[in-house]
Amino acid sequence: MFGESEDERGAGISRRAFLTGACVTGAAAMVGGLNACAPPQDAGPGGAGGTGSGANGGAVPVSKAPSKVDKTYDADLLIVGAGGSGLACAVQAALNGTNLILVDKSNQVGGNANFVEGMFAVNSTLQLEQGIDMQPAEIMEAELSRGQHRQNGDVWLDFVSKSADNITWCIEQGVMYSGKVDDYRVGLFPTFHWFKDGKAAVGYVEPMKARLEELSVQLHLKTAVNGLVMKNGRVIGAYADGGEGVVRYSAKAVVLATGGFGGNEEIVAEQGWNTDGIRIVGSPNAAGDGYRIAMDNGACSFMADSAQSILYAIEAFPPIDFHDAAENPLYGYFGIASGGPVLWVNEACRRYTREDLANDNLALQCLPGKGNKGNYVVFDQAIFDRFFGKNDDAKKAFYDAIKANGGGSIYQSDSLADLAGRFNLDADALKAAVDRYNELCGEGADSDFGKAAGLMAPIETPPFYLAKLSYNYFFSVGGITTDGRHRVLDGRRNPIEGLYAIGNDGNMLYRNVYTINMPGVAFGHQVNSGREAANAVLEYLDR
């Protein structure tokens, strides 16, 4: 990606591998403070357990129901969010004979699932037909080791063990696969099952939508859930704003499938990220609605361990473009901000990691600098010309950005001291960092951090460039603490009766780092968690 040789390129990963986990939508954006693992609080009979804003912007006070309800519906199960996981949950619940209603605040089903290309499975019929035979233990060790074994192995084993059946089940529901199974070019194992035409919009969303109609599932679109109704610590319904006004759903169980909080800058900040100059690149519908609802009703926050799809960015450059980001050398997934043949320093002008982390895992690149007050990228004209100024379009975009930006987030100068002064950095410290980096480049090996030798290019040809790094935030992974049955847990790690979280809302497969080494896992989890929650609800209702 960065250069011409394999040594220089490293293990490049396409934009698609990074986005395969993107999930969907749900209820309206909620407001209010974040709970960690606070003990559960009962809203009392008829109370809406939560503070939130509905589609009309009106708040629903804690422990107080709306003064007026325009429409009521009764069901055993309410599913909030009709994306990848919500669709799977609704179809499975309907097959189970559960009386359910599926709602979504948008005007269509699918959400970000429409952009997914395939899903994970181990030893599916499609794999076995092609002679692909893997041992679950291999998958487990490869994945868990990359998360430092901080993940719950039992949850992972359950997911892996059920993955082949999920493919079979999807086919039975009409989901269409292309038949191609591979490692997605850069994965550790051939676990990626491509949807027809390489698009879940074609292979998954439309067939599942048709299946909902066949099963006569009630679907309420443009309906934003904004609070739960609790009684004696148990879910008995929810309130929403929709086309019929204020709606009350009486339900014995509620499943949150709202796609996480990646579209909500305030909650992203609570995750610990500096949001100055941040670009929310994922779906704005994934606004933390389910997270707020769960927290307002005593759920244990998984925020401290949650993961995310995130990349470095430079504010002066154009927004990342999904269509060409994998190959764009200027501001794409492997652009200037993403590292490689450049130098990264923090606010003290200290180098803090090797800059080619994107070759290991795109989502890993930002984590070492998360605790820094500021992060900066340094390079020179020779580096730009060799690695990034690949064509006239790239060069024009680069120089136009510098001119228009006026030095706000990127600056050009023949003097390193001038660059440092522009960003209020210590000039001597910056020079020392560059001198040390150039020394390593001269030795032909990064003996400090171990960056690939082909990416060790000295910074010595003026003009020099220094840019302040911000972030492109795609989507969150996890936020609400759940158990193996996808039940939402309270501060004492006990299930909140009747409340479930699936998809990106309740994803417990990761700890801090969104590993993308096992292709299709995130969407495989959408299907698996949806089905499992529907089955868990069936057991709950039968008690």
Based on C-alpha coordinates, what's the Rg of the chain?
24
Strand partners, 219: 102
Task: Grade residue 77 by pLDDT with cuts at 50, 70 and 90.
Answer: very high
Cα–Cα distance, 17 to 241 (Å, whole number): 36
Residue 60 lies in a domain: no
Same domain assignment for residues 221 and 236: yes
Q: What is the mean pLDDT of the chain?
A: 88
Same domain assignment for residues 273 and 414: no
Q: Give the three-class secondary structure for 378.
A: strand
What's the residue count for the chain? 543
Question: What are the tokens at 384?
Answer: 């730009």
Task: Grade residue 321 by pLDDT with cuts at 50, 70 and 90.
Answer: confident
- Residue range(s) defining the domain that contains residue 411: 308-473
Q: Give the three-class secondary structure for 283.
A: coil
Residue 20 lies in a domain: no
% residues pLDDT > 70 (the chain): 87
Same domain assignment for residues 328 and 214: no
Residue 1 lies in a domain: no
Among the listed ranges 323-327, 373-377, 454-458, 483-487, which one has the minimum average pLDDT value? 323-327
Same domain assignment for residues 378 and 287: no
Q: Which of 418, 439, 473 is the last residue of a domain?
A: 473
pLDDT given at position 318: 87
Same domain assignment for residues 346 and 294: no
Q: What is the dihedral of CA 267, 154, 23, 288, to 10 degrees?
A: -20
Residue 115 lies in a domain: yes
Percentages of the chain per state (helix, strand, coil), in multiples of 5: 35, 20, 45
User: CATH code at 118?
Assistant: 3.50.50.60
Give which of 511, 263, 252, 239 is closest to 367, Cα–Cα.
511
Residue 488 lies in a domain: yes
Same domain assignment for residues 174 and 247: yes
Q: Which of 426, 442, 473 is the last residue of a domain?
A: 473
Q: Which of 473, 507, 523 is the last residue of a domain?
A: 473
For the residues 204-215, what does the mean pLDDT come to? 98
Same domain assignment for residues 198 and 128: yes
Residue 286 pLDDT > 70, yes or no?
Answer: yes
Instruction: Tell me the per-residue pLDDT of 14-65, one tens digit each, with 9 for 90 and over.
Output: 444 444 443 333 333 332 334 456 544 444 333 333 333 232 233 333 346 8
Domain count, the chain: 2
pLDDT given at position 64: 60
The whole-angstrom distance between residue 381's C-alpha and the CA centroid of its chain comes to 35
Same domain assignment for residues 496 and 452: no
What distance separates the 2 farthest-apart alpha carbons in the chain? 74
Residue 403 lies in a domain: yes
Residue 33 lies in a domain: no
Same domain assignment for residues 145 and 284: yes
Instruction: Tell me the per-residue pLDDT of 233-260, one tens digit each, with 9 for 90 and over.
Output: 999 999 999 999 999 999 999 999 999 9
Residue 371 pLDDT > 60, yes or no?
Answer: yes
Q: What DSSP string runs through 402-426?
A: HHHHTTSSEEEES-HHHHHHHTT--
For the residues 372-399, what does the mean pLDDT come to? 95
Same domain assignment for residues 230 and 144: yes
Given a contact cutoff of 8 angstroms between Cβ atoms, the answer to whether 182 and 45 are in contact is no
Same domain assignment for residues 328 and 347: yes
pLDDT given at position 283: 81
Residue 251 lies in a domain: yes
User: CATH code at 422?
Assistant: 3.90.700.10
Same domain assignment for residues 465 and 402: yes
